[in-house]
Amino acid sequence: MTARPPARRPPPPSLPPLNLHPKTHLSDSLLLTGTFPITLGAYTFLHPRARLSSVHGPITIGAHCIISEKASIIATTPAGVKLGDYVVVETAGRVEGGEVKEGGQVGVGAVVEGVVER
What is the count of structural domains for the chain? 1
What is the pLDDT, as a whole number, of residue 13?
Answer: 66
CATH code at 23? 2.160.10.10
pLDDT in tens, 80-107: 999 999 999 999 999 998 999 999 999 9
Please report whether residue 32 resides in a domain.
yes
- Tell me the pLDDT band of 12, cut-offs 50, 70 and 90: low
Domain that holds residue 70: 18-113
In which region does residue 56 sit, left (phi positive, over 0), alpha (psi from -120 to 50) or beta (all else)? alpha
Whether residue 2 is contained in a domain is answered as no
- Single pTM value for the model: 0.86
